[in-house]
Structure 1
Amino acid sequence: MSSNLSPRAHKLMKVLVENYLKHGQPVGSGKLAEISDLSVSSATIRNIMGELEQQGLVASPHTSAGRIPTNLGVRLFVDNLLTIKDLDSGIKQQLTGAFDAHKTTEELLTSTSQLLSEITSMVGLVKMPSRRVTRIKHMEFMPLTEKRILVVLVLDDHEVQNRVIYSERAFTPSELVQATNIVNQYLVGQELAVARKTLLEKMREEKQALDSHMQHAIELAEQGLATDQVNDDYHLAGDRNLLELAEGEEGLDNLKAIFNAFQQKQDVLALLDKALEAQGMQIFIGEECATDGLNSCSVVTAPYQFEGRAVGVLAVVGPTRMYYDKVIPVVDITAKLLSSALNQPE
């Protein structure tokens, strides 16, 4: 689409969108002539604006009130005309100082969503890892009652999980110590997902050749890890920042739809999964969000990585009239800093 526009049209589109993003008001031909630095008449600008309107890039909300960019026009601007600014040194310092590698994965993800919201004054989202990014340091079985056993799972991100499992037979303390020793030979240093799937499958395949102690250890390990589910969820912060969208009846309806989407989660998770699969930074504008709840918003996303693999995605959600030149670099560097913190050795 961009190649079909003349240099003058490109210039006017850029100036119009930048002015609209800043002030939120339609821009007239006279104003465009004044701020575009083009040596053309208002009539020429009106002709160019008419062509842009025919292509669906701008619209006239009211007769003789000037024009505003459509979502398609904002997409053209973001893809072809946007000039990304360097982050303010204060924001850079705030970002780089916020990531403590000694925090647990959960703490890092929660603080990242809050940080995104605080810096952008919009909604910060961080999708939980599609795969667990933590490894097992230790697994221990401890007796509670005759057939109730406490499973203590220590992970390498400083997280300790306690789970209670029920056994059909009673285990003596010495048997549980022996099971602990056996299981840790197999599981220590492995990712949770790998431990639950690959290693336990291998152990089951060899089960017939194992003695009864090993078989009992496998059964306890299976129960202890079976409660570990991949979190299909996200951390959200700053949803109240969108209250400014509730201008007029239409704005209030949009706000209700957004809050409902956040509460229901499925559509938002689907969008974040789409961003993760696409790899790299992604920007969804209006209807591109593919959900009624967010079709009045723009969503800027970037994946975060663990051991070279994209395992989750973070995002900023705000009005389509957002400062993309400021939001995009914030999301980009935050994703890099989160990845770095997750990959730091203990």
Structure 2
Amino acid sequence: MQLHELNERSQDIFRTIVETYLRTGDPVGSRTLSRTGTISVSPATIRNVMADLEDAGLLESPHTSAGRRPTDLGLRMFVDGMLEIGNLTANERESIKGKSQSVGRTLEEVLKETTQALSGLSKCASMVMVPKQELAVRQIEFVPLGQDRALVVLVSEQGTVENRIISVPPGVTPSELNQASNYLTARLAGRTVEEARLSIEEEVKQQQTLLDSLTKKVIDSGLAVWAGGDDPSSLIISGQANLLENLEAQEDLERIRQLFEELDKKSELIRLLQLAKDAGGVKLFIGSENNLFSLTGSSVVVSPYMNGANKIVGVVGVIGPTRLNYSRIIPMVDYTARIVSRLL
């Protein structure tokens, strides 16, 4: 069902139910609605409309004698078509902005403090997907470890050293590994791995190199561990304790326990956030709309952030119950993403 298919009375009743539920967390009954003073129809008429909304899949009743609350589908319709987005206060903006000062701190440290501020303001768990920083390379070296393995040692211009083990074709000699090291060092110096990879691919395509096939395979393997392959992003999560507040039933505690288990599976969460990187602006995953949190009754509000080249490099957001204050959380996440983009 689409919002325009509801008549004005149904829209008013639906909006009031959702807003009341988001504010109180309790199912809303017809008598409660009739006492609000905003709906000028009888409780019987309200009950009929609520029954129709339930048949349409927008409302549900947790217990036979209880009132109604919005379903995930109903929350989606409300957020997309009825929600009035609020504005952050000056203090909220300053709290987020103040934590994003980068002087004397690494990017990961700044992002950690920024998400802690977001968690404190939203009263939710917050998260940020941290991109792997592409540093300019000074030197790369291949060290043989056996018949089919080699250690790749990469030294950045800043002096940081990374070591990774790769598979190499059988029969590769130490001299061929040395040739691969010299070839890559000459072309990587002062460039990021990604920049050098594109240049080398073009050079190989035009057959301007005199490398033998085994050495080329070593070079391809060495570049692949940094440029491409598994997603190099890491994930910072803050404020999980906020999810334990305002628990009203044992089923809530079980839901949070399941959510904590899901948060521990950071690789799965990163895959979810990768979906958000493809979207412009704030993106919401409400309850069962995403497989990761389908059993925990949780919502995720995220927004991508960009680097100085206007390339999306990460995602920041919050995780909380579906009963979020969306009108406040959405602009908060959006503002945090813009602050992080400005930092980069």
TM-score of the pair, normalised by structure 1: 0.78
Q: Compared with structure 1, are the counterparts of its residues 232 and 22 closer, same or farther at alpha carbon in structure 2 (3 Å cutoff)?
A: same
Q: Which moved more, 1:250-259 or 1:97-106?
A: 97-106
* Counterpart contact for 2:258–2:296, Cα < 8 Å: no
The 5 A counterparts of 1:16-95 are: 16-95=17-96
Matching residue of 2:313: 311
- How far off its partner does 1:254 sit? 1.8
Unpaired segments of 5 or more residues in structure 2?
142-150, 166-172, 176-181
Q: Is 1:113 equivalent to 2:115 in the alignment?
A: yes
* Counterpart contact for 1:260–1:293, Cα < 8 Å: no
Question: Which secondary structure state, in structure 1, belongs to the residue aligned with residue 199 of structure 2?
Answer: helix
Q: Is 1:331 equivalent to 2:333 in the alignment?
A: yes
Question: Which secondary structure state, in structure 1, belongs to the residue aligned with residue 339 of structure 2?
Answer: helix
- How far off its partner does 1:241 sit? 1.8
> Residues of 2 paired with 1:266 and 1:165: CA distance?
20
Question: Which secondary structure state, in structure 2, belongs to the residue aligned with residue 321 of structure 1?
Answer: coil
Alignment-mate amino acid for residue 296 of structure 1? G
The 5 A counterparts of 1:156-171 are: 161-163=160-162, 168=174
Matching residue of 2:324: 322
> Residues of 1 paired with 2:94 and 2:203: CA distance?
49
Alignment-mate amino acid for residue 273 of structure 2? L
- How far off its partner does 1:336 sit? 0.8
Matching residue of 1:242: 243
Q: Which moved more, 1:38-47 or 1:48-57?
A: 38-47
The 5 A counterparts of 1:93-242 are: 93-102=94-103, 103-129=105-131, 132=132, 134-136=134-136, 139-140=138-139, 151-154=154-157, 161-163=160-162, 168=174, 183=185, 186-188=188-190, 190-195=191-196, 197-202=197-202, 206-208=208-210, 228=226, 230-242=231-243
| 1:193-230 deviation digits (Å, cap 9, x = unpaired) | 233x2234456654429xxxxxx9x9999898666475
- How far off its partner does 1:78 sit? 0.8
> Residues of 1 paired with 2:217 and 2:66: CA distance?
73
| 1:27-62 deviation digits (Å, cap 9, x = unpaired) | 221221222513222222222112111111112223
- As a proportion of its length, which structure holds more helix? 1
Question: Which secondary structure state, in structure 2, belongs to the residue aligned with residue 139 of structure 1?
Answer: strand
Unpaired segments of 5 or more residues in structure 1?
143-147, 170-178, 210-215
Q: Is 1:256 equivalent to 2:280 in the alignment?
A: no
| 1:122-156 deviation digits (Å, cap 9, x = unpaired) | 11111233xx55442x52579xxxxx99753136x
* Counterpart contact for 1:301–1:316, Cα < 8 Å: yes
* Counterpart contact for 2:138–2:188, Cα < 8 Å: no
> Residues of 1 paired with 2:76 and 2:35: CA distance?
25
Alignment-mate amino acid for residue 153 of structure 1? S
TM-score of the pair, normalised by structure 2: 0.78
Aligned residue-pair number? 319
> Residues of 2 paired with 1:149 and 1:295: CA distance?
42
* Counterpart contact for 2:100–2:111, Cα < 8 Å: no
Alignment-mate amino acid for residue 79 of structure 2? V
Q: Compared with structure 1, are the counterparts of its residues 219 and 88 closer, same or farther at alpha carbon in structure 2 (3 Å cutoff)?
A: same
Q: Compared with structure 1, are the counterparts of its residues 187 and 221 closer, same or farther at alpha carbon in structure 2 (3 Å cutoff)?
A: farther
- How far off its partner does 1:117 sit? 1.4
> Residues of 1 paired with 2:128 and 2:257: CA distance?
21
> Residues of 2 paired with 1:61 and 1:150: CA distance?
59
Matching residue of 1:288: 289
| 1:244-274 deviation digits (Å, cap 9, x = unpaired) | 3755442233222212211122432222112
| 1:261-300 deviation digits (Å, cap 9, x = unpaired) | 1112243222211222233321111100222566410000
- How far off its partner does 1:116 sit? 2.0
| 1:139-177 deviation digits (Å, cap 9, x = unpaired) | 2579xxxxx99753136xxxx5223589947xxxxxxxx
Task: Give me the identity figure in percent.
Answer: 33
* Counterpart contact for 1:123–1:318, Cα < 8 Å: yes
Matching residue of 1:4: 5
Q: Compared with structure 1, are the counterparts of its residues 185 and 149 closer, same or farther at alpha carbon in structure 2 (3 Å cutoff)?
A: closer
Question: Which secondary structure state, in structure 2, belongs to the residue aligned with residue 50 of structure 1?
Answer: helix
Q: Aligned Cα RMSD in Å? A: 3.6
- How far off its partner does 1:92 sit? 0.9
> Residues of 2 paired with 1:312 and 1:269: CA distance?
10
